[in-house]
Amino acid sequence: MEDRNLKMQLLNEHDACGIGAVVNIDGRKDYTVVDRALQIVEKLEHRAGKDASGKVGDGVGILLQISHHFFKKVAALQNINLNDENNYGIGMFFFPQDEVKRNIALKIFEDIVKNKEVKFLGWRNVPYHDEILGQKAKECMPYIMQCFVERPKQIEKDIEFERLLYKIRREFEQLNLETYICSLSAKTIVYKGMFLVEQLRLFYGDLQDHDYHSAIALVHSRFSTNTTPSWQRAHPNRMIAHNGEINTIHGNSHRMLARKDILKSQFYDDQYPIVNIQGSDSAILDNALEYLYINGIPLEKAMMLMIPEPWKNVEIAQDKKDFYHYYATMMEPWDGPAAILFSDGNKMGAILDRNGLRPARYYILDDQTLILSSEVGVLDIPEEKIIRK
């Protein structure tokens, strides 16, 4: 009987999210990356949760590089002039549907931007097709808008501008205006929502436009286990897409809060709390990673010190063992099981926690494309094109 029950469990196993990534390693930006990533997530239905009606998903999303080719075109329709690439930031907002609340939030955000001596360029209503949504998803759907802000001339591109945008976002978030910022960056943007896997592409008109070019794309289909599905809790977060759970999250989050007095930043003095303990485990992990990255720790190093591989009693390079031993005094492991994709818009990486219980497979193709997913077979790739796996 036990053997039969085990077989039934395995046949009906459905307890983890789905993840995928497509990257042009040589940096080429094109729509093929976007399309392939959407194809991957559309193949991950078995890893996506849905409600009893079968019409509302737990959440699906995609993280992309900002496409100057695309946004210059659509911003011009709003009389917004986007000059050079990386000289502006874009925010993706989930506002309240209530017009009064929304207008208050809009005005406050604009004021915060201007108070930071940043030029506010304007808003854009994101085109969407809500007729495809299930009833519950439509009832709680936010008002979706994008904003454009110009990089001040005295602020350097890349990390210095990202720090400024981070500070703007954190100041706005402290006001609790029933508004969620999916992303606010000069490098990346997140499209997500309470979708079934096939609805992501169909809902957002931007994702159907072949002028949207990116060299990096991360996708995620959510199977909610310990939090209620919502538009905000869909993945990717601002830097990660996460398959699994952080089962040490209670200790991790409270340790981060306890470090308030010793985590001195040379860039910020009033951005606490670092993590929002009301968020999901993935959102809290994203908060912590973002804080480390914004404060100058390279992305891959931050991930290694938060999610170390087994190192104490295994044969690994001595310099790597020394690295883990040193940082173990500063940061306890964020333990899963978890497979995590991460990106800052310049790099994309993936990591398994030390339990190694979440799957991740990758191919590198002869055209310098990386394809990674929580399972094989998500894209039909001829074997002769695969140079490494």
pLDDT tens readout for residues 165-213: 999 999 999 998 999 999 999 999 999 999 999 999 999 999 999 999 9
Task: pLDDT band for 375, please (50, 70, 90 cuts).
Answer: confident
State how many domains the chain has. 1
Q: How far apart are CA 96 and CA 124, in angstroms?
A: 16
Higher pLDDT, 303 or 57: 303
User: How is residue 362 written in tokens?
Assistant: 């990758």
Q: Report how far apart, in Å, the C-alpha atoms of 24 and of each of 131, 135, 207, 219, 346 are.
A: 34, 38, 18, 15, 11
Residues 186, 161 contacting (CB under 8 angstroms) = yes
The per-residue pLDDT for 6 is 39
Indicate whether 6 belongs to any domain: no
Indicate whether 317 belongs to any domain: yes
Indicate whether 3 belongs to any domain: no
The edge-to-edge listing of strands for the beta sheet with 180-185 is 119-125, 143-150, 88-95, 180-185
**Percent of the chain surpassing pLDDT 70:** 95
| Residue 261, burial from CB neighbour count under 10 angstroms (0-12, 13-18, 19+) | exposed
Indicate whether 313 belongs to any domain: yes
pLDDT at residue 13 greater than cutoff 50: no
Residues 36, 20 contacting (CB under 8 angstroms) = no
The per-residue pLDDT for 260 is 76
Q: Across residues 112-131, what is the average pLDDT? A: 97
Angle at 145 between CA 50 and CA 164, to 5 degrees: 110
Q: How far apart are CA 297 and CA 285, in angstroms?
A: 15
Indicate whether 5 belongs to any domain: no
Indicate whether 10 belongs to any domain: no
Task: Name the residue among 193, 180, 183, 283 with its Cα closest to residue 234.
Answer: 193
Read off the pLDDT of residues 38-94 as tens digits, 9 standing for 90 and up. Answer: 999 999 888 777 777 878 888 999 999 999 999 999 999 999 999 889 899 999 999
Higher pLDDT, 259 or 226: 259
In terms of phi and psi (left: phi > 0; alpha: psi -120 to 50; beta: otherwise), the region of 328 is: alpha
Q: Report how far apart, in Å, the C-alpha atoms of 266 and of each of 38, 260, 296 are.
A: 39, 14, 10
pLDDT at residue 263 greater than cutoff 90: no
Q: Which of 3-12, 116-125, 126-135, 274-283 has the lowest mean pLDDT?
A: 3-12
Residue type for position 241: A
- Domain region containing 251: 15-388
Q: Find the catalytic residue in 17, 140, 147, 182.
A: 17
Q: Report how far apart, in Å, the C-alpha atoms of 188 and of each of 121, 229, 307 are.
A: 18, 24, 23
Confidence (pTM): 0.93
> CATH number, domain at 195?
3.60.20.10
Indicate whether 105 belongs to any domain: yes
The per-residue pLDDT for 234 is 92
The per-residue pLDDT for 4 is 47
Q: Across residues 143-149, what is the average pLDDT? A: 98
pLDDT at residue 18 greater than cutoff 70: yes
Task: pLDDT band for 270, please (50, 70, 90 cuts).
Answer: low
Higher pLDDT, 106 or 49: 106
Question: What are the residues whose beta carbons fall under 8 Å from the beta carbon of 217, sequence distance 6 or more?
Answer: 21, 22, 23, 33, 34, 36, 37, 62, 63, 64
The per-residue pLDDT for 45 is 85
Indicate whether 42 belongs to any domain: yes
Task: pLDDT band for 8, please (50, 70, 90 cuts).
Answer: very low
Active site residue 147: no
Higher pLDDT, 94 or 245: 94
- Mean pLDDT over the full length of the chain: 91
The per-residue pLDDT for 50 is 79
Task: pLDDT band for 11, please (50, 70, 90 cuts).
Answer: very low
